[in-house]
Structure 1
Amino acid sequence: MSPLQAGRTYSFKNWLIDCQRRELRYDSVAVPIGSRAFEILERLASSAGHLVTKDDLIGCVWSGLSVEENTLQVHISAVRKALGKDRDLLKTVSGRGYTLAGAWQSGQPERFTAAPVSVPTDSAFATNLPNTHAPLIGREDSLNELVDVLSAFRAVTLVGPGGIGKTKLAVELAHRVASSFDESVALVEFATLQDPALATSATARALKLALNDKEVSAAGVAQAIGSRHLLLVLDNCEHVIDVAAQIASAALRYCPNVTVLATSREALRIEGEYVAAIPPLSVPRPDVCEPDLLLQESAVQLFVARTRALRTSFAPDAGDLAKIAAICRRLDGIPLALEFAAARAANLGVDTVLLRLDKRFELLSGGRRDQLPRHQTLRATLDWSYDLLPPEEQRLLCRLAMFPAGFTLDAAIAMMDDDASRPDVIETLSNLVGKSLVSLDLSFDGRWRLLESTRAYALEKLAEAGLVEQAARQQADFLIQLIQRPGGSPATSDDFSRLAQEIGNVHAALDWAFSPNGDAALGIALTAGFVPVWMQLLSFAECSTRIEHALAHFSSELECDPGLKAQLFVALGFALLNTTGSADRMKAALSIGLVLAEELRDLELQLKAVWTLWSYNLNSGQYGAAKDVGERYLEIALRTGNSASETVGRRLIGAATHFCGAQEDARRELTLSLDRSAHGLKDGTNQMWFLLNQSVLAKAMLARVLLLQGKIAQSRSLAAECLQEAESENDKLAMAYALRNAVCPIALMTHDLDAADRAIASLSKLVTREGIAFWASWTSCLKGQLLVLQGEHRDGIALLRDGLKARAENGWLMRNPEFLGSLAEGLFAIGENAEALAAIEDALSMSRQGRQLWCVADLLRIKGELLLADGAADTSRAELLFSEGLSAAREQQCRFYELKVAATWARIMAGSKRRQAALDLVGPLSALFDPEVDLPALAFARGLAARPGIQASASPGEHPGSPTCH
């Protein structure tokens, strides 16, 4: 800057930029702004109304330095903050630079006269920063960011809970920027002060100012500093917060070259302040176990470094590192707590520390002797913060400790007595957040949490006051009310997402409710209310365990809604349906639940029980029984008068009918289900236990029916549509159903192997990610089918056998004849003909026993091919099976399998010089399929028709060798 520029001012309305004093003033009052932010403002004012490019600003303000654009953006933010309500004067020209609006006038400064207190000398202040010894682990990014912030803002406050490392960070930061202040850095330590009134004197002593008693005030100290360059570090301000704010504010007002860096558990709340929340050190995610990845997290690095400093031989192996990671998570990455834990680990071992963390306030003590008394133990650190709180804030903090999974504002209000108004609770919660005792949960909107150590401390305080039972009861009541929908309206997906966040709190409430000092009736009500959430989360094992625990607490003396017992038994049946090896327990629970529901004349609950029985019969391959139960469901649904329930009944009947082999009847029922009440299929009343998307289920089953009827393009389109619908709603279970029931099998049956590979991979990933363990046998069998079709027979056989074994153990027989057919084809391909015949016999036997007739035509085809390959000269037995298969397919109106059987038989005929008969059999069938459809059977038929000397028939006729079968 030239001497002429240095003496200039720029003014606009109430604003004045004084380049000589390096001050921004509004109505003659100085506005805090950092040195480099001031230089940016000065440069913009000198070119007011014109574009100043980003490169121009960086070159002007950071001449000769390599600076990234985000540094410039930090300083631009500081300028806007300083301009306050006139922040819109600073305009951004996207991708280019900035302009300062307004008619800024250049002039000469007026003579500025400071208040006549004491005139400082021109000598610089000597720094009193302590030397740092141990490296500051995990704070490099924060330091780099704060260096930029300090050059943009003149007041920066580092806030965070006790033990987060604010003082160490401030001292290191001050060392890094000291050269920018001519090495004039003054550290004022308020930690040992008992009386806030002494804070001003402590500041004067740290600055070595010779002030008499009358001059020892915030303004007096500031005017004694005068225009000298200084970084004023005010450490541990929380217990002298008002006086510290006065000192900082006065320094900003009277001292144009002073920057204030403060540390506190709450903000100073002064003009121009930049509040930097200091985060905990990074901790590993629970699913990370690789040593190299664990050591990348700063909390683990600190723990290892501090332990090694006390025990030089400390060399943690992979197991130790996993335990250290768990310790770091339990201690929320708080550096002070980690140092205490590391000190104990050096003497007692990592295992002991991890096991004794529940007694953390006894374990985590023995800090360094050169630390402040409140940093000698974890309890002392928290005592310091707690004792500074007024009673209402102490009271709310202790009650909020009941929520291990975090809490909402409504939860905080519910935990206070009726005499605490909503605005009072909001104010109190806001104060706790401001004092770093409650933190905003960044994972969810509108939720807060306590650090684990803070929560443990607050629970101790609650127990000391004898208020645990009262608070636990309040929490349980709140959670029950939270689950209840206004007017009994059905829950939405948003409701379930919100309730899922409470699962940890529900665990805590249930543990208390079923404890000796708890309230079992509250626990039973909470369990019943939360069942749909467990279902939505696919947590069936946990759900069944919690329900059985609740049922065990029923007694004649317990006052409970009688409907709850019926609800819990029915819910238990459904939960067990979706876990492994639980068929007998499931049927027993459903039997009791259905009887109780009938006694209560609760039709909706009866529907749930019957629907679960239908699911069991379908899953176990008892399709005839499933159809009967579906009809029972429809009968009850008609009595309810609920059209949505009637629509579900149609779907249940349609699905069972499809597997029984009556495809046209199935198509009619499924189409009716979709057409009559499409809007009702997504209605919460109709979605049973969780958001089971009935539309997706109906479309997936109808897609299968259309495939079997030979409508290949429609089938593929509908399968894709139902998957897209599930994906658009991010409905994980609906996606799994769409893939399992439609997309995967249709791709496999039509030999679209690339599509099948992608779909099976998606299903497998979904099953693994969502923990749907009972679906693993599905992915195993589907992948086995794919491998057999791809020619990787042995791998496919192994997967099919594993999947079929798991399904048999769990009572899952649905579609097993189809899988046994694929197993037989794989065994045949590797020459294991006897085993292949045994597998196909099992498939046919199973198919007939449970009326699993939908694929019987294909099973007969496979058996016929196996008999031909067995070396028998007489083909009549095989051809009889082909004839029987064609009859079954035609009876079922199953054109897809009719074509497949006909093509196989025709291939045999063509090989035995009966080409015309072969074409007469398969030609008319192939003509019924769309020309663009590409299937192996169609390719054979079309190739046969193209051979010379053979003439295709005009229409399907009787198949040869079986004149009595039509």
Structure 2
Amino acid sequence: MGQIERNLFEFSGWELDLGKRELRALGAPVPLGSRAFDILEVLATASGEAVTKDDLMRRVWPGLVVEDNTIQVHISAIRKALGKDRDLLKTISGRGYRLIGQWKSDPPSAASQITTTGMPSRESRPVSNIPAPASELVGRESALRRLLTLTSAYRVVTLTGPGGIGKTMLASELGRRLLPQLGSDAFFVELVSLREPELVPTTVAQAVDLKLQGDQITAEVVARAIGERRVLLVIDNCEHVIDAAAAMIDTILRICPHVTVIATSRESLRIEGEFAYRVPPLEVPDSGEVVSAAEHSAIHLFVARTRALQWDFEPDQQKLSTIADICRHLDGIPLAIELAAARAATLGLQQIAGRLDDRFVLLTGGRRTALPRHQTLRAALDWSYQLLPESERQLLCRLAAFPGGFTLDAAVAVSGEGDAETTLAISNLVSKSLITFDGSETVPRWRLLETVRVYSLEKLGDGEDFRRTMCRMAKHFLKLFQPFSARRTLSAAIENITHYRREIDNLRAALRWALSEGGKGGLGAKLAATSSDFWTAISLVSEAGDWAERALDRLGDEKGSRIEMVLRCALGYALIYTQGMNPRGKEVLIGALHLARNLNDPDYRQRVTCALWLFSARSARLDDALTFAQEYEATLDERDLHERTTASWLVGIPQTYQARHREAGDRLSWAAANYPVEHRKIDLLRLEADVRTSSLSHNTVNLISRGLLEQAAETAEQAIQEARETAQPFVLCVALAWSASFVALSIEDLDRAKVWGEELSRQASQHGLRPFHAVGLSVRGAIARRLRDAYVGVEDLRAGIAEMREASYLLFYPTFLCELAAALQALGRLDEALSELGHALSFSREHGYHWMIPEILRRKGEVLRDQDLRTPLEIEDLFQNAMMEAARQEALYWQLTSAVSLINFRKAAGYQGEARSVLSPIYQQFSEGLSSPLLLRARALIEASQE
């Protein structure tokens, strides 16, 4: 029986007993991990001198490489143990640490001699009942490294987390790895079967094989029986007897200086000296991320468990992506993944992926050796749910209504309780691992894991409590999104858009319920109207229209109200951008305009007028567009620059297509230069257009027509840049459509036409903007024609033009009919070409769409020349008429285009020397763009005629 020398250091009520390896405060033991105690011993024996990090590493971890983070963990554990006296341990910047104060050391005495009776000798082998692993522990290496550090700094580490997260397997593996390091006995104590909390001490005593006698086996009796023994206790499943388990472990820590405890529980023990480690889910790849079983532990586990049942399972990349989707839906929870893998081995991956909404029926059949509550997903959650008091059960179920997480205000709104009661209940549910903190200190937010949410929704059912919860939720979001429904608060709402974005999934859930058969249609209509500008602000115009359409069918008492007006406006704009200028969109908007007039709402009168103007302009009904522009002018204040620039834009665009190029150009240039940009964000919602971008884009028609080619190219670039700044897809599509389909094609810059046209097609496809998709397709066909691939050109142009007709998006209709005629001409299909030009000409004259007439006449002359069925005089007349029409419009560029065709025709017929007299007067009016292909051809013809 050996003797151990005992040294005692004391200061200000603290005692550091090196013999018993115990830190005491006023005589009471304070729990501290073994390595943390070693650090404290080194600092105490340094007599107030600083000890460097390197010296600490050398003396506490001899022969091992230790990261700085490991030392920090242990220093934090010591400071936590010192409590209010934490400042006794000082960090010396750049040097190390020191323990301040006069720590007096007592010499050894007879009273300070203790024996090693009851402690295992170095030769004895540790005893352990920790079960051997049933399978490989996947994806937990980093967690194990962290826990090994924590158990050397704290005497009790509690693994917390929801059911099925893998606490038991992780704690068991941790115990097995600690066994050789601690050199102590290790006992696994399972509390899951206990029903009476008072039996916790008896269960611990039996697991440790203490052989206690007597009727009263208390926590203190058990602790004193363990005494000085070196013991590692793994105490599993504490949550259902949490108070008794906490008292047992706290007593052991006070009385037994050489015991380390690893506990598992769905909530922390909340005792002194505890470190609560929340077990994380396994790593799951983000949606769209390249999936790798080696890099993502959730995928690794799924594959490993499937192979255990299906030895030849070898997933390809497509199967790995499906597995990733499954694991994401299951929140990376190991139990759920294991159950899914077991089913996948028999039913197949696609069956599992397609039936996760029925996960509680599907995910059963765990290992027969597992605990009953680990054999099905439902049983695992039943265990946690049944431990909750009724008030927390109710709140958990009501919070499941929020698929996108929730704020405290939202929780209070559905709970039916006050702030204090709801806050306390949320805190309790977080501590019990049923709710996860999902925000920040500045924006606190919580959520339920998806599996917990699905379970809780099932418990909520579809009865009165569900309807009451959803009604409260809808009313909460009606109030939250109210700033989007008033012009005076709209700007602030847009500035704070990130705050509202977080609620997208919740808003959808509230709208879906309210507008369903069992919901409240009037409330849903109010919510859809209130949030309509929000959807547009985040570039989801089509979704605004979808909710508006559903709400209009459920108006109830709101028929004829402002709510109906707002919903009609939202639906009308959405139909314009997603389906084009169909009659239904116009009907919806006219109804909105009548309501705006009846309700005397100037804001919505302007909004709807702009929508109807947009409808008319895009469907090439220019007289109607001017009428609506004048309607807008009738409502404006002449002193308001914002409204004046908007009116100038509205008038300038139809004038552009009527070929009033100089007047229209002046209006659009003035609107773009003077529009107050501080109104941009609001106008993007009110008018669903950007005045600057639209003015610049459409003005390119006037600039090119007048021969200002360099200005046109610069304006196109500027329009695209302005559009990008709005971050609105439909605005960018406007700029790209005019830049690619008109500017770049007209000046024969095929490289830029290709780049802009491809971006236009991507944006249109991505955001469901059908009219612009038609333009992108037509641009591709026009480029193919110019690259001598007329067959592809005809195919793409026909498809694009057909889509334009279906969408009644006709601004570009005559332009691309001319392009189609040119492609058909290249294939020798001259009759078809003439037919398309006939359509273009009749359309342009019928709609007052004069700006394309010179080009249509010129192209007709080109086709007739190849057909060789008309007299030269008839063909010349077409070219001459095209030149005269262009001159009347002051369209210098189209005048020169027709003149070049005339001279080439005459030259082919043998006429010489006329190029200078015809072309020079026109050519000399150009002040820029002299290096463009058309002007270079004109100059070459002029020079050739002088030779």
Aligned-residue identity in percent: 33
Q: 1:782 to 1:34 in 2, by over 3 A?
A: farther
Q: Deviations over 1:637-673 (max 9, x none)?
A: 459x976445433222222222322222223322343
Q: 1:21 to 1:296 in 2, by over 3 A?
A: same
Q: Deviations over 1:735-787 (max 9, x none)?
A: 33332334664344344433333333333333333343453212212233333
**Preserved CA contact (<8 Å) 1:670 1:702:** yes
1:452 is aligned to 450
What residue identity is the alignment partner of 2:397? C
In 1, Cα distance between equivalents of 2:257 and 2:429: 34
Between stretches 42-51 and 839-848, larger displacement belongs to 42-51
Between stretches 74-83 and 446-455, larger displacement belongs to 74-83
Between stretches 244-253 and 260-269, larger displacement belongs to 244-253
1:620 is aligned to 619
2:83 is aligned to none
What residue identity is the alignment partner of 1:698? S
Which 5+ residue runs of structure 2 have no aligned equivalent?
81-85
Deviation at 1:121, TM superposition (A): 0.8
In 2, Cα distance between equivalents of 1:74 and 1:723: 54
1:168 has 2:166 as partner: no
Between stretches 476-485 and 566-575, larger displacement belongs to 566-575
In 1, Cα distance between equivalents of 2:790 and 2:6: 88
In 1, Cα distance between equivalents of 2:209 and 2:512: 59
TM-score by length of 2: 0.82
What is the SS of the residue equivalent to 1:490? helix
**Preserved CA contact (<8 Å) 1:58 1:72:** no
1:954 is aligned to none
In 1, Cα distance between equivalents of 2:104 and 2:876: 111
What residue identity is the alignment partner of 1:633? Y
**Preserved CA contact (<8 Å) 1:617 1:623:** yes
In 1, Cα distance between equivalents of 2:562 and 2:476: 21
1:601 is aligned to 600
What residue identity is the alignment partner of 1:35? R
Deviation at 1:678, TM superposition (A): 0.7
In 2, Cα distance between equivalents of 1:40 and 1:935: 83
Deviation at 1:300, TM superposition (A): 5.7
**Preserved CA contact (<8 Å) 1:408 1:447:** yes
**Preserved CA contact (<8 Å) 1:37 1:79:** no
In 1, Cα distance between equivalents of 2:469 and 2:210: 53
Q: 1:921 to 1:487 in 2, by over 3 A?
A: closer
1:266 has 2:282 as partner: no
Q: Deviations over 1:534-571 (max 9, x none)?
A: 4445555554444343333345xx46672223333333
In 1, Cα distance between equivalents of 2:44 and 2:797: 73
**Preserved CA contact (<8 Å) 2:219 2:247:** no
Deviation at 1:378, TM superposition (A): 3.2
In 2, Cα distance between equivalents of 1:34 and 1:226: 14
Q: Mapping of 1:182-581 within 5 angstroms?
A: 182=183, 184-209=185-210, 217=219, 221=223, 224=226, 226=228, 228=230, 231-245=232-246, 260-269=261-270, 274-282=275-283, 299=298, 302=301, 306=305, 309=308, 328-341=327-340, 358=357, 360-362=359-361, 364-365=363-364, 367-417=366-416, 420-441=417-438, 446-463=444-461, 466-485=464-483, 488=486, 489-490=489-490, 492-494=493-495, 496-515=497-516, 517-539=518-540, 542-555=543-556, 558=557, 562-580=561-579
2:129 is aligned to 128
In 2, Cα distance between equivalents of 1:716 and 1:10: 85
In 1, Cα distance between equivalents of 2:758 and 2:648: 32
What residue identity is the alignment partner of 2:281? P
2:735 is aligned to 738
What is the SS of the residue equivalent to 1:188? strand
What residue identity is the alignment partner of 1:656? P
Q: 1:108 to 1:269 in 2, by over 3 A?
A: same
In 2, Cα distance between equivalents of 1:185 and 1:64: 26
**Preserved CA contact (<8 Å) 2:537 2:685:** no
In 1, Cα distance between equivalents of 2:59 and 2:758: 57
**Preserved CA contact (<8 Å) 1:48 1:100:** no
What residue identity is the alignment partner of 2:425? T
Q: Deviations over 1:106-125 (max 9, x none)?
A: 99965699999996414464
In 1, Cα distance between equivalents of 2:522 and 2:88: 58
What is the SS of the residue equivalent to 2:928? coil
**Preserved CA contact (<8 Å) 1:889 1:895:** yes
1:724 is aligned to 721
Deviation at 1:399, TM superposition (A): 1.4
**Preserved CA contact (<8 Å) 2:129 2:187:** yes
Q: Mapping of 1:572-591 within 5 angstroms?
A: 572-580=571-579, 583-591=582-590
1:964 is aligned to none
Deviation at 1:530, TM superposition (A): 2.9
What is the SS of the residue equivalent to 1:854? helix
In 2, Cα distance between equivalents of 1:82 and 1:797: 79
What is the SS of the residue equivalent to 1:760? helix
Q: 1:805 aligns with which of 785, 795, 802?
A: 802
Q: 1:517 to 1:20 in 2, by over 3 A?
A: same
Q: 1:788 to 1:410 in 2, by over 3 A?
A: farther
In 2, Cα distance between equivalents of 1:59 and 1:720: 66
What is the SS of the residue equivalent to 2:385? helix
What is the SS of the residue equivalent to 1:407? coil
What residue identity is the alignment partner of 2:423? I
2:676 is aligned to 678
1:35 is aligned to 35
In 2, Cα distance between equivalents of 1:697 and 1:520: 38
Q: 1:151 to 1:781 in 2, by over 3 A?
A: farther
1:920 is aligned to 920
In 2, Cα distance between equivalents of 1:737 and 1:13: 77
In 2, Cα distance between equivalents of 1:149 and 1:784: 67
What residue identity is the alignment partner of 1:264? S
Deviation at 1:402, TM superposition (A): 1.8
Deviation at 1:437, TM superposition (A): 0.9
**Preserved CA contact (<8 Å) 1:570 1:609:** yes
In 1, Cα distance between equivalents of 2:426 and 2:846: 65
Deviation at 1:614, TM superposition (A): 1.6
Which 5+ residue runs of structure 1 have no aligned equivalent?
1-5, 93-97, 951-966
Between stretches 230-239 and 106-115, larger displacement belongs to 106-115
In 1, Cα distance between equivalents of 2:113 and 2:873: 119
**Preserved CA contact (<8 Å) 2:305 2:341:** yes
Deviation at 1:162, TM superposition (A): 0.9
Q: Deviations over 1:84-132 (max 9, x none)?
A: 665995578xxxxx53266989999656999999964144642322111
What residue identity is the alignment partner of 1:650? S
In 2, Cα distance between equivalents of 1:195 and 1:117: 38
In 1, Cα distance between equivalents of 2:832 and 2:334: 65
What is the SS of the residue equivalent to 1:191? coil
Deviation at 1:449, TM superposition (A): 2.2
Q: 1:731 to 1:222 in 2, by over 3 A?
A: farther
Work out the number of aligned pairs and report it: 923
In 1, Cα distance between equivalents of 2:599 and 2:398: 39
In 2, Cα distance between equivalents of 1:717 and 1:88: 68
Q: CA RMSD in A?
A: 4.9
In 1, Cα distance between equivalents of 2:257 and 2:725: 58
1:786 is aligned to 783
**Preserved CA contact (<8 Å) 2:130 2:172:** yes
TM-score by length of 1: 0.81
In 1, Cα distance between equivalents of 2:452 and 2:513: 20
Q: Deviations over 1:824-852 (max 9, x none)?
A: 33344455444444434433333333233
Deviation at 1:314, TM superposition (A): 8.1
Q: Mapping of 1:136-155 within 5 angstroms?
A: 136-140=137-141, 142-143=143-144, 146=147, 155=156
**Preserved CA contact (<8 Å) 2:10 2:104:** no
In 2, Cα distance between equivalents of 1:223 and 1:277: 32
In 1, Cα distance between equivalents of 2:721 and 2:22: 61
What is the SS of the residue equivalent to 2:849? coil
Deviation at 1:400, TM superposition (A): 0.8
Deviation at 1:365, TM superposition (A): 4.5
What is the SS of the residue equivalent to 1:467? helix
What residue identity is the alignment partner of 1:696? T
In 1, Cα distance between equivalents of 2:700 and 2:534: 30
Q: 1:825 aligns with which of 812, 818, 822?
A: 822
Q: 1:856 aligns with which of 853, 856, 865?
A: 853
1:100 is aligned to 96
